[in-house]
Chains A and B, each alone.
Chain A
Amino acid sequence: MTQATPLRPRKLRRPGASGLITGTAILILLVLAVLALAADWITPYDPLRQNLMHALQGPSANHWLGTDDLGRDVLSRLIYGCRIAVIAAAEATAIAILLGVPLGLFIGYRGGWWDWITMRVVEAVVSIPGIMVAIVIIALLGAGLHRAMIALGILFSTSFLRLARGVVLAEREEVYVRSARVIGASDSRILVRHIFPNIAPPLIVQVTLTVGAVLLSEAGLSFIGLGVQPPHASWGTMLNTAANYMDLNWFLAVPPGVAIIVTVLSVNLLGDVIRDNVGRGIATAPSAAARRRKVRPAEPVTVLPAPTEDEVLRIEGLTAAIVPEGGTETPIITDLSLSTKRGETLGLVGESGSGKTLTGLSVLGLLGAGVQVTQGAIKLNGTDLLTLKPRELEQVRGNQVAMVFQDPTTSLNPAFTVGSQIAEVLRTKQGLTKAEAWEKVVELIHRVGIPRPEERARAYPHELSGGMAQRIAIARALSCNPSLLIADEPTTALDVTVQQEILDLFRDLQDEYGMAILFVTHDLAVAADICDRISVLYAGQMVEMAPVAELFADPRHPYTRGLLSAMPHAASGEPPLPTIRGSVPRPGAWPVGCRFGNRCDFHTAACDHPVPLEGQNGRLIRCVHAERFKLEAAS
């Protein structure tokens, strides 16, 4: 059950230089289109009218870009060249799409022999230099613009075919395709109506890339005399002319050359912009300004006990937010304070969007791009991690704090043996030699309850069951004997009987190593098993904190009570089962007052103002009705 906080990759708006470039690119393409359409009216001269008296002149008031070998006006020919360029790009790209996409969709979905044969043909075509394929096709069809474009269209259809096939291969395993098959939709219907709309974004990008490539190829083909035939003007034939008269007038090469470069560049830039906006998101590094952002110091914290000798982690007034560049911050954790000591397991319990996972990640300094701690302090063994430089933080990770993730099969690298992945930590963090590290690896693997450790150390992650792989992940986390272990839903992906074994293992290892564990889970029953104290989070803030026995014997916050009564084994008998109405609000949509207010049965006017977290003796609650619930429990 994945309950990762739904943080969509944001469309980062980059103002300034890149916006200007995009605008320029679009403007250039618009101008190109207008010139192509209006060439007949705006050209100063007929592009074919010769005037041998004024051949090979440089730029002048009469001929802004000079004249060519036959005295024709270069500017006029350049403008007519736009028309050829637009026709060429449209024609070849359309042929490529119409040929490549349906075929790619079909063979990707069908597979088998169809796929095998088509792909071998495509590979053969792609392995021959493109210009040769074009020449062969033109040799068969004859020279000329349209024939050349048919040749290019066939050539470029291979990239559309491979793109469409690749996307279909991935999409056809998606559950929505399975749903469509269960409904009874036919194969062609599934392909056209269900799968096709999902491949549009990469297709759009491919179109822009192809347009650029077609323009270049058309110029190339015309240059060698296989495309547009003289005397008609295209940028390629103009370059051809320029090459012949290089010695007499070098300037002839400049106008068509610049036109080609600027156009292709504009198309490709536009493609990049479209990809960034519709694509599945590319990794963005936090900007320098974001990395330098100052973390505001925490407000004085009243809910934590004074620091003690054996305190390992102390988080004070932690606030984290999604910080888009130039946009407004959206808080996702607010004013979170907690502490844990040696040998203690502190549970962070909550549903998706509660901020429990992000709390763990912020301790490690591993919040994703666009998410930042904006206020507070995270003290590990007395050192505030938020003040450390990245280098220093790297030393802390692994040595003093380690993490176990939800899904062991993805948190271990499939390319290396599990033993070498543990050994790597030992060698980089503790400077052990290869032999020493390996000895320790075998010992650790034995310690986490895996029989025949020497043999298992040489296994790859996929050769192990989920439970085994999680034991390996735990061994890796404990390899440097950290003082704090963060476990993020470490048993959620496992079967119940295996979950029990892993929970027992955590307990045994804690007895032996004495580390503090921050145990993140959505499952209150798992928390009841493993935790000493539990902190219940809701919509980015702590709503209740209590020692484990007290929390289950006497839950006070209405949300905690709701969660407990909604657990499957809490209720007995037939539905309707108890529910909490509504759903967890998304960050940015939190109510101003009590964030649980709109779902709470006890809501009163007093709940519409921000509610502080109050209490003593490690028993904290954020509810205006806390006293009432306390009395109820006592009576």
Chain B
Amino acid sequence: MTEAPLLQLDDLWVSYYSRSMLGFAAKPFHAVKGASLTIEAGQTLGLVGESGSGKSSIANTVLGLVPPSQGKMVFDGQDLGALKTRYPAEIRRQIQAVFQDPYSSLNAAMTVEDIITEPLRVHTKMSKAERHARAVELMKMVSLNEDHLNRHPHQFSGGQRQRIAIAAALALQPKLVVLDEPVSALDVSTQNQIINLLYERRDALGMAYLLIAHDLALVHHISDRIAVMYLGHIVEEGPADRVYYQPAHPYTRALLDAVPQLDPAEQARRRAARKAAPAPDLQRVAATGCPYRNRCPLAMPRCEASMPPAYQVEGGGTAQCFLVEEQTRKGAA
């Protein structure tokens, strides 16, 4: 018997209602349209997509900052989507976060010690001395000097601040940490330091990560599974290596091809290929059918008629594309 996953999203919708002047509900905007995902305990799910794809909405929903409008969200056996109130404290402490911008995510008015012991103050009855001992331990965990506990965030570089944010997120030993673009505001030379730290800590403490990022290459390094979002849909999901090396959805392929390579000759080759290909339709959002079809070089008539369901992909995972179904059928025939 397999263990139940740590987090399971089932047909999750997140919608935003803007209110018009007179108080009538305007047309809702659906940021997430029926997303289904699972994260196993101690594993990392990388969630990739462009701006506006809905990946941050999923992060905010999992964190309990935005309620889902529909669907199930089960964490550790408890249906959080059904909660009408805030998360109860015992759930709250199990799901922590590290945000993108280390400059605004740390309160400038607090000391480092205050910042990383704040979760302990809220959730535990530790004495001051116990909290301090834990703070020293946490500083060691993120390779920061314990003498710096009295300093304020502005005295640290971006990478060091992100270490402080990680220390605060680890303080309560959560089961799940949501990492929302944790390194994209950092210098190239410090990005990998933080990635290594996150990877090391995950294995040492047995946490699971929901890693939100736009860079597939980076996500691939530390994820067990990768999910790709496009306009609110999870268009592809599967084991990290399969999605990265054998993408099944044309959008995932386009994302991978668009990442600039460190090889000028390869770049020139790709450029020539792009020139030869027909220009994509810039009217980007398709009203019916597959949301990607207007940009898709492989679009077929049936893509216009209906939204493709999630088909099983060889090698693991699913993709919402009719091509996958056709290939599977060919393979079977």
Contacts and interface: CB of A to CB of B under 8 A. Distances in A.
Contacts of B107: 176, 179-180, 194, 197-198
B267 A529 contact: yes
B92 A184 contact: yes
Contacts of B65: 178, 181-182
A584 B107 CA distance: 23
A497 interface: yes
Chain A CB within 10 A, most for which of B63, B89, B101, B267:
B267
A495 B258 CA distance: 9
B258 A500 contact: yes
Contacts of B263: 528, 552
Interface stretch (B10-18, B76-84, B116-124, B319-327): B116-124
A13 interface: no
Contacts of B99: 175, 178-179
B246 to A, nearest CB: 15
Given A182-B95, A197-B109, A574-B221, A499 B258 contact: yes
A564 B188 CA distance: 9
Which of B184, B193, B214, B218 has most A Cβ within 10 Å? B193
A22 to B, nearest CB: 26
Given A182-B63, A495-B50, A525-B260, A579 B89 contact: no
B192 A577 contact: yes
B205 interface: no
A16 interface: no
Interface in A176-198: 176, 178-186, 189, 193-194, 197-198
Nearest to B194: A579
B187 interface: yes
Interface stretch (A140-148, A386-394, A565-573): A565-573
Nearest to A177: B107
B261 interface: yes
B274 interface: yes
B264 A552 contact: yes
Interface string B194-207: 01100110000000
A577 B199 CA distance: 10
A193 B100 CA distance: 23
Greatest chain A CB density within 10 A among B87, B99, B118 is at B118
Contacts of A524: 188, 262
A496 B192 contact: no
Nearest to B220: A568
B264 A584 contact: no
Interface string B226-254: 00000000000000000000000000001
Interface string A349-393: 001100000000000000000000000000000000000000000
B110 to A, nearest CB: 7
A564 B200 CA distance: 23
Interface stretch (B33-41, B134-142, B152-160, B302-310): B152-160
Interface of chain A, main secondary structure: helix
Interface string B177-194: 000000011011111110
A442 to B, nearest CB: 17
B288 interface: no
B199 A583 contact: no
A200 B108 CA distance: 12
Interface string B80-105: 00000001010011011101110011
Interface in B10-65: 50-51, 63-65
Contacts of A573: 221
A579 B189 contact: yes
B259 interface: yes
Contacts of A183: 92, 96, 118-119, 122-123, 168
A575 B194 CA distance: 11
A500 B64 CA distance: 35
B160 A569 contact: no
A1 B221 CA distance: 20
B74 interface: no
Given A185-B118, A198-B109, A351 B199 contact: no
A184 B274 CA distance: 49
B118 to A, nearest CB: 6
Interface in A477-513: 495-500, 503-504, 507
Given A451-B282, A529-B260, A575-B199, A197 B110 contact: yes
Interface in A152-181: 174-176, 178-181
Given A352-B187, A575-B221, A176 B264 contact: no
